[in-house]
Amino acid sequence: MRMITRCLVALALFLVLAVPAGAEETIKLAGMFNLTGGMSSIDAPALNGAKLAAKLINEQGGVLGKKLEVIGYDTKTDQKACATAAQKAVSDGAVAGLGYGDTTFVNAAAPAFINANLPFVTSGATHPELPKWHGEYFFMVPFGDDDQSFAIADYAANQLGVKNVVVWTDNSMDFTKALSKFFKQRIEELGVNMIYEDFFMMGDKNFSAQIARLKNANPEADAVFIASIPNEAGLTTKQIRESGLDLPIISADGFDTELLVTVPGKKLANDIYFSSHTYREDTRPEVLNFIEEYNKEYGRDPENAFAPLGFDAVGLLADAMERAGSTDGPKLRDALAATRGYEAVTGEISYTRPSRVPVKAVSIISVKNGEYKVEQIWMPEI
Amino acid sequence: MRLPRSFLFTLLLGVGLLLVWFMEARMSSYFLMVAGFVGINIILAVSLNITNGFTGLFSLGHPAFMAVGGYVTAILTFPAMRKAMFLPDLPAWLAGLELPFLPALLFGGAMAVIVALFVGVPVLRLKGHYLAVATIGFLIIVQVLLKNMEGWTRGPLGLSGLPAITNLWWIALFVLTCIVTAWRIKFSSFGRRLQAVRENEMAAKCIGMNLFLTRIQALCVGAFFAGVAGGLWAHLITVITPNSFSLVMAFTIVVMVVVGGSGSITGSVLGATVVTLLTEVFRPMEEQLGLYGMSEVLMSLVLLLILILRPRGLFGTDEPIFLLPDEYRGTWKAKGMKKK
């Protein structure tokens, strides 16, 4: 038994030491992602996007004369691993960190970079108070939850003419609770009546109770706003439509998923509206180019909006490095803060607001009979 | 030559302290974080050993005690101003309170003990698998409570930006306390009572032992150290959320205990170290080869091998012979084991 343990340990050490330490003279970016575990369907495409961006940039000659390297750190959907991997990334000489699609993991990993005066750019976490919590070295690539909730609220009130709405909130995630909070805030300002708020949890499979209450809503509901993540998007839509209700279903970027159409089927996936990153069904040249390159590199279409977001995070950092003329932490940070009108795949990024949440366009996307279509582009006020 | 035990213990202590000093002075922050987690996992494994290994109570609720201890410590060390902003429902006396690390940790441990008492009274009447499932239920209850008591705990968002006050010295202090406590318990009449309950409950009852009291005591001691470990954990990562302490963590700690040997303190220390380091050792390989998830697969392989080839774990229920107290050495002789 002891011999076997010794052999295993020896093998492990051998593998660790024998594998080459990595290329010299590259600019290292730490891609912090949950490549295994519950968040992997969101984070893995983001890392793919990030690595694709690095590859394309290197083909054009790299940044500041050096090759860009995105090292993926798998943090296994576990906060402890986030903190450890972040420390490792800093020790490995990364000049900046990027990644994640969810606030919880960003909060665990970002401090290691921030404390070392290295910028952290989140590709997918959307809570608008993130830059405030983490300080000057923190930047967001996507818009904030407040913007996307305001966008869909405006569309519902102005375009769909919704006067009475029911709100369903996933009570187990901070992302969905933030969406609801901002949505409710906006509809109150617009004079739309929220009949009542209903709750469910991530992982719920049966929504018959909520649907029964929805049917009996008094006054009758013009629409139902569902704050959920992709898993529940398809299920709720399917069950609502199957119960005979055909009122508009509205949501935010949690509904930006193939599951919305594949789970209910094309016929039932009807009269759905959600706000999301300006990417799906968009015809801008950056988007088309990205989809083409992604297909060339990985042999399939980008899985979800997080792929271009990861791509944009690297692109943004590279652009800032060129403008700063260096990879030094504070200088890079200043260049990032000065970003104006960077043409990202997911929209134009400018950090003009003091909250350092980018002023980005939001797409309102409709699903009619299983077909996605961009109905409107909404811009935040500032 | 048989060295006196006190000398050996002092030597081990000296080596340990020297190691901690060396690591703090020279090694990178990444190394220190990994070493920190090794220490915290040692505390968790040894404290679980007291409940599971010595007493035979298959408790999967350890992460719940960590959560209680972690949150209490975090709330107590949170700057008063941020408390007002983030946790509006805290009662006034708590909202203004801001404690230094040690009292906060001890308070966290104490709260975990109080929760253990609450939970132990109904749950410890059960045995074996029923106890295990009941403790899982307890774990879920704690998680749901933390998620929904938003005014007190900030709900699913959790508390972030905690002061990073955990360092190797604090962890070493509690590792030492935990191991010494476990050791003293194991080789005392209290420890013998625990092991009697584990071996044969009927016989223990027959000689007049109060089963319930003994089991509650075991649960509470384990819970205290789990609570302290939770507090240390929270201030090492600087973030604490309700999902941090899940069933997966419960099983990970059980794995550490099983790998080392259920009932052996040295085994738990070794098991915790091996399991924690194994995942980190394989990380460079994962990154270079792009084979993410490899380390978990390899760890499962190691666990399988140990369970097949040596199901008692690395140490079984024993401690290294040269560290055993004198009266125990005789038993080894009587069992026919080779003298070292």
- Please say if the pLDDT value at position A13 is more than 60: no
| Whether A133 and B161 lie within 8 Å, measured CB to CB | yes
Select the more confidently predicted residue: A77 or A250: A250
CB-nearest partner of A104 from B28, B31, B158: B158
More confident residue, A95 or B4: A95
Given a cut of 90, whether residue A286 has pLDDT beyond it is: no
pLDDT level of residue A10 (50, 70, 90 thresholds):
low
Residues of A in contact with B232 (CB under 8 A): none
Confidence grade of residue A140 (pLDDT, cut at 50, 70, 90):
very high
pLDDT at A12: 58
List the single range of B29-43, B69-83, B308-322 with lowest mean pLDDT.
Answer: B308-322
Confidence tier at B287 by pLDDT (50, 70, 90) = confident
pLDDT at B334: 47
Spacing of C-alpha B199 from chain mean position? 23
Q: Measured between CB atoms, which of B28, B160, B244 is closest to A133?
A: B160
Query: How confident is the model at residue A188, as a pLDDT?
Result: 92
Length of chain B: 340
pLDDT digits (tens, 9 = 90+) for A319-346: 999 998 888 889 999 998 888 888 888 8
What's the pLDDT score for residue A154? 92
Is A73 at the interface with chain B, CB within 8 A?
yes
> Residue B226 pLDDT more than 80?
yes
pLDDT at B44 over 50: yes
Kind and range of the H or E element at B239?
Answer: strand B239-240
Whether A301 has a pLDDT exceeding 50, the answer reads yes
Helix (H) or strand (E) segment spanning residue B160: strand B159-160
**Separation of alpha carbons B251 and A87, rounded Å:** 25
**pLDDT, tens digit, 9 for 90 and up, residues A354-382:** 888 888 889 899 999 988 888 988 888 76
User: Residues of chain B with pLDDT > 70: what percent?
Assistant: 95
DSSP A367: E
Residues in chain A: 382
Please report the pLDDT score of residue A23 as a whole number: 47
Q: Provide the shortest C-alpha distance from residue A89 to chain B (in Å).
A: 8
| Per-residue model confidence (pLDDT) at position A380 | 85
Work out the widest C-alpha separation in chain B, in whole angstroms: 66
**Average of per-residue pLDDT values in chain B:** 86
Pairwise CA distance, residues B233 & A305, whole Å: 34
State the average pLDDT over residues A37-60: 88
Q: How far apart are CA B255 and CA A302, in angstroms?
A: 38
Chain A nearest-CA distance from B302, in A, is 8
C-alpha to C-alpha distance for A68 and A351, rounded to whole angstroms: 24
Tokens of A32: 């912090």
- Interface contact flag, B290 A19, Cβ < 8 Å: no
Confidence grade of residue B46 (pLDDT, cut at 50, 70, 90): very high
If you measure CA to CA, which chain A residue comes closest to B274? Answer: A9
Neighbours of A17 (CB within 10 A): 9
Question: pLDDT-based confidence at A21, cuts 50/70/90?
Answer: very low
Identify residue B4 by its one-letter amino acid code.
Answer: P
Rounded Cα–Cα distance for residues A171 and A13 (Å): 45
pLDDT of residue B216: 93
Lowest-confidence segment of A62-76, A206-220, B155-169, B314-328 by average pLDDT: B314-328
What per-residue confidence (pLDDT) applies to A9? 61
Maximum distance among all alpha carbons in chain A?
74
**A190 — pLDDT class (breaks 50, 70, 90):** very high
Confidence class of residue B333 from pLDDT cuts 50, 70 and 90?
very low
- In A, minimum Cα distance to B27 occurs at A91
DSSP per position, A61-120: T-BTTBEEEEEEEE-TT-HHHHHHHHHHHHHTT-SEEEE-SSHHHHHHHHHHHHHTT--E
A170: closest chain B residue by CA: B156
The rounded distance, in Å, linking the Cα atoms of B223 and B241 is: 19
* pLDDT tier at A20, thresholds 50, 70, 90: very low
pLDDT tens-digit series, residues A150-159: 999 999 999 9
Tell me if A367 sits within 8 A of A149, measured CB to CB: no
Judge contact between B258 and B71, C-beta under 8 A: no
Cβ of A41 under 8 Å from any chain B Cβ? no
CB A293 within 8 A of CB A56: yes
Instruction: Phi first, then psi: give them for residue A370, nearest 5 degrees.
Output: 80, 0
Average pLDDT, integer, range B117-146: 90
| Mean pLDDT in residue range B33-42 | 92
List, for residues A109-122, the tens digit of each pLDDT value: 998 899 889 999 99
Nearest CA among A84, A85, A86, A123 for reference residue A102 = A123
Quote the pLDDT of residue B156: 79
A contacts of B285 (beta carbons < 8 Å):
15-16, 19
Residue corresponding to tokens 């509650």: B216
Cross-chain CB nearest to A1 (options B34, B147, B310): B310
* Average pLDDT score over residue span A58-67: 88
- Confidence category of residue B306, pLDDT binned at 50, 70, 90: confident
Minimal C-alpha gap between B189 and chain A (Å): 33
Q: Which residue has the higher pLDDT, B295 or A131?
A: A131
Kindly list the residues from chain B whose CB atom is less than 8 angstroms away from the CB atom of residue A132.
none
User: Which chain B residues are closer than 8 Å to A90 by Cβ?
Assistant: 29-30
Task: Give the tokens for residue B186.
Answer: 């194991």
Beta bridge partners of A8: none
**Residues from chain B contacting residue A115 (CB–CB below 8 Å):** 164
d(CA A34, nearest CA chain B) in Å: 10
* B residues 252..311 contacting A (CB < 8 A): 278-290, 292-293, 296, 298, 302, 305, 309-310
Task: Tell me the pLDDT of chain A averaged across its residues.
Answer: 87
pLDDT attached to residue B228:
95
User: Omega before A219 cis (within 30°)?
Assistant: yes
**Quick one: pLDDT at residue A4?**
62
Q: In the structure encoding, which two tokens stand for residue A301, read together?
A: 């279409």
Reply yes or no on whether the pLDDT at B230 is more than 90. yes
E strand segments, chain A: 26-33, 67-74, 96-99, 120-122, 138-140, 164-170, 193-200, 223-227, 249-251, 272-277, 342-344, 347-349, 362-368, 371-378
pLDDT tens digit sequence for A199-251: 998 888 899 999 999 999 888 889 999 999 888 888 999 999 999 998 999 99
Burial of B182 from C-beta contacts in 10 A (0-12 / 13-18 / 19+): buried
Asked if B312 reaches chain A (Cβ–Cβ under 8 Å), the answer is: no
A104-132 mean pLDDT: 89
A-chain CB neighbours of B67 within 8 Å are: none
Question: What integer is the mean pLDDT of B146-157?
Answer: 82
pLDDT for A35 beyond 90:
no
Higher pLDDT, A223 or B24: A223
Q: Do β-strands A193-200 and A223-227 pair in parallel, antiparallel, or remain unpaired?
A: unpaired
For testing contact with chain A, the best of B168, B239, B278 (most A CBs within 10 A)? B239
